[in-house]
Amino acid sequence: MGSICESLAVSKWVELIALTAITLGAVITAVSSWVLNGAIQNMRNPAFHRATTVFSQLNQLLGGIDGIDLEHLYRVVIISSAVALAGGLLQFITSGWLLRETSRGGESPAAKLWVFAHLFVLLAMGGSFIGIVTIEVELNTRLRVFLGVTGLDFIVLIYFIWFVYGFARKPTNGVFNEPDDL
């Protein structure tokens, strides 16, 4: 395995990372739009307003916290999925640009912009993840899929950012000679 990694140029690895990030960006965009659509449709449902009233009355009867109702929970889900939708689109577009620039041979500015944009994607995804996890509600299938996909993307992007950042700082000959170069 070591000889395969050493024989490939670093730009080919960055192209593979860009292709993977494009795929993940498309998946994040699809899943977050699915969650966003479901949450908006549920809020527009007339039964939702009756359930909100009943939930609020039950919450006050049992000594719960005032102000927590279904509307608040759905707003958190809508905002989180909208942020993830924007992050998925940003990831898709910037990764496509990174792939195009890397395949043409111009790597440094595109790689630096990609790293910078994906740091913001990581922050937005972390905020969305925390926003959904902290609401005390049973997670339905949409939210489980959403949290699973965004969590996987978050973990993978940490490594991708580290690698592409090293690529943006690479020597001019295009190959890392020493492990310290990365």
Residue range 63-81, pLDDT digits in tens: 655 555 677 778 888 888 8
Residue range 32-63, pLDDT digits in tens: 999 899 888 888 877 766 666 666 666 666 66
Secondary structure (3-state) at 157: helix
pLDDT at 177: 44
Secondary structure (3-state) at 163: helix
Q: Please give the helix or strand (H or E) that residue 51 lies within, else none.
A: helix 46-61
What CA–CA distance (Å, rounded) separates 80 from 137? 15
Residue range 139-171, pLDDT digits in tens: 677 888 888 888 888 888 888 888 888 777 765
Provide the whole-model pTM.
0.73
Write out the two tokens for 161.
């950012």
HSE, side-chain direction, 13 A CA sphere, residue 170: 23
Band of residue 31 on the pLDDT scale cut at 50, 70, 90: very high
Q: Which residue has the tokens 């009756």?
A: 50
